[in-house]
Structure 1
Amino acid sequence: MLSIVPRHYFLGFIPLAAGAELITVFGVVNKASGIYGLLSIFTGHPITAAQLVLNIISLILLPVFLYALHSVRRQQALPVVAFSYVYFLDMLANLAFTIYFSVTWFRVFDATATAEAGKGTASSLDTASERGLSITIIVLALLFKVYFCFVLFGYARMLVRKAGLRSDNGEGKYMKQLQFIMLAIAPSFWRRGGRRAGKGRMVNTLEEGIEMY
């Protein structure tokens, strides 16, 4: 699965750095929309508990995305790695909310379609086509979200390798611990050369031990 993470380009022709910045900008705009969602409370517009929670999460993450945009532009490896994990968790949360909202919407849609069919105002073919189009749009949106996550991890990996970061060479008490935690997950993904590099270092260590002996 890690092999499908982009190495150099976003969408096949846009530099990975530009793609990561573009994705982060989209994320900032998306999180800022939570402001308008909360304003609907004061305008008397009906809002569900799930929508309220989603808007609150968006506002909480807005400063994180703004700081991440600054880090992406300045090519700061460790903050970008942290943001990649945050984006991944946010993607999982969005997936859960999307499934919930989709199921709710389809229930309302089916009830409305059934009522219209009883009145003879809608055909089953129209209902099926609308449902199919909705499902297609939802699936495509989720696939793009997953791809965006891969792009961010690809860009973070590029910065990590460029800076020569490893799980064991962090600086500062807390930053060292944070770096260890983030880069210790799937270490072969972050290393240059992946598993081969890890095997190479193991062989070199054994050879050095034999020579010392």
Structure 2
Amino acid sequence: MSVGSTLNQILPVRFLGFIPLFIGVEIVLGISILNKAGGVYGILSIITGHPLNFWQWLYNILAIFTLPFYISALIHLRDKPRNVRKLSLATIVYVLDTAIGIFYTLYFIYFWFSSEDVSSEEIEKRAEVSSALSSQSASIARELYVTLSTTIVISAIRIYFTMVIVSFTRALLKQDVNENRYNDSSRTGDDDDEQEVNASKGVLGEWKKFVFELEIKSKEVLTAFFRG
């Protein structure tokens, strides 16, 4: 079974079954931008004296890193032909971001269970002198159930959002390929942007060149992938 036929079976054609994918992508990117903006506050929490471990630092830094790509994709979502390049890069970033998020979810679950194991041992030691053991254990069990259920639901939503973005980008790339068969206007737009980027100087200019190359490469990679 080819990649294309497999994707046709699993990727949504409408957001939530009845909303156009274009609007769905706007919603997904908007939610992602708000979510990633929290990474800035996470880093700034050091000012308040709130301790952050290595994994928390890394997660917040990654959130800040992905934020510009989501903002750029949302701003240029209606801007042809830039939207194809920018959404291609945002799609790859979003897929990687989702994978990292799932890893952190698994880490959180492991950390939670480890903490609960320690708490259970402490509770058992106090069982001889406390008659409230049963109610305390029940409270911990309920808290654990709610936390894990919420985490699983959020992860499932995130995976669905990823499928929405991938589906829309796939359709956008397919449309771009079909248009390029009859004219070269899309490539002309890329050439204009490339000339503008190459004319940029300084650190900002180097960053623009780096991002532009990533966009072109992302577009090529996804086009080849969806053709497979």
Please list every run of 5 or more consecutive structure 1 residues that lacks an aligned counterpart in the other structure.
189-213
Q: Is the 8 A contact 2:36 2:66 kept in 1?
A: yes
1:80 maps onto 2:87 in alignment: yes
Question: Using a 3 Å threshold, how does the CA distance of structure 1 residues 148 and 113 change in structure 2: closer, same or farther?
Answer: same
Higher relative contact order (CA 8 A, sep 6+): 2
How many residues are paired up?
Answer: 187
TM-score (norm 2): 0.71
1:2-151 aligned at under 5 Å gives the runs: 2=7, 3-7=9-13, 9-74=14-79, 76-116=83-123, 118=126, 119-123=130-134, 124-151=137-164
Q: CA RMSD in A?
A: 2.7
Task: Give the stretch that moved more between structures: 99-108 or 80-89.
Answer: 99-108
Deviation at 1:114, TM superposition (A): 4.1
Which residue identity is paired with 1:106? F
Question: Using a 3 Å threshold, how does the CA distance of structure 1 residues 64 and 176 change in structure 2: closer, same or farther?
Answer: closer
Q: Is the 8 A contact 2:84 2:219 kept in 1?
A: no
Deviation at 1:28, TM superposition (A): 0.5
Question: Counterpart of 1:160?
Answer: 173
Hey, which bits of structure 1, 4+ residues long, moved more than 6 A?
A: 166-170
Q: Is the 8 A contact 1:91 1:146 kept in 2?
A: yes
Deviation at 1:184, TM superposition (A): 0.8
Deviation at 1:125, TM superposition (A): 3.9
Question: Using a 3 Å threshold, how does the CA distance of structure 1 residues 45 and 78 change in structure 2: closer, same or farther?
Answer: same
